[in-house]
């Protein structure tokens, strides 16, 4: 199942400069795992790597775009519709070519509840 990222109309031109276009901004989920694609960021994880998924709010000062914090990657196309995905163990990801360890990943989606519910169901199976 493919879930479109929510992209703020105000920030779409700026996001597009860094590859954050509608066609390159999505999360796909299948029996094997999940893929997060937002412009140049493109990482896949097996379901065994994931612990949980919950809709959440992000603080206003998080803004939009590609964000990095201690153990956290945020793929924010919008301030609304965000989901926090947590990993069982920190995973190594490449953030604009820089390897970092990630414990949780935030992503803004058009259907955050549906994605979180779908992922939780697959994790429980």
CATH of the domain at 31: 2.30.29
Q: Which two tokens stand for residue 7?
A: 């992209």
State pTM to two decimals: 0.95
Which position has the token pair 């199942």? Answer: 1
Mean of all residue pLDDT scores within the chain? 96
Q: Which two tokens stand for residue 70?
A: 């201690």
Full residue range of the structural domain in which residue 82 is found: 2-124
Q: Which of 122, 52, 120 is nearest to 88 (CA)?
A: 52
- Mind listing the pLDDT tens digit for each residue in 76-101? 999 999 999 999 999 999 988 889 99
Give the number of domains in the chain: 1
For residue 110, name the pLDDT band (cuts at 50, 70, 90): very high
Neighbours of 38 (CB within 10 A): 27
């Amino acid at each position: 199942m493919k879930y479109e990222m929510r992209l703020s109309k105000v920030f779409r031109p700026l996001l597009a400069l860094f590859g954050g276009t509608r066609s390159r901004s999505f999360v796909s989920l299948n029996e094997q795992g999940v893929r997060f694609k937002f412009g140049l960021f493109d990482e896949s994880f097996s379901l065994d790597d994931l612990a949980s998924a919950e809709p959440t709010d992000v603080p206003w000062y998080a803004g939009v775009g590609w964000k990095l914090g201690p153990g956290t990657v945020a793929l924010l196309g919008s301030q609304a519709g965000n989901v926090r995905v947590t990993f069982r163990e920190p995973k190594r990801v490449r953030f604009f070519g820089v390897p970092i360890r990630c414990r949780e990943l935030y992503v803004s989606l058009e259907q955050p509840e549906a994605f979180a519910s779908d992922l939780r169901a697959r994790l429980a199976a």
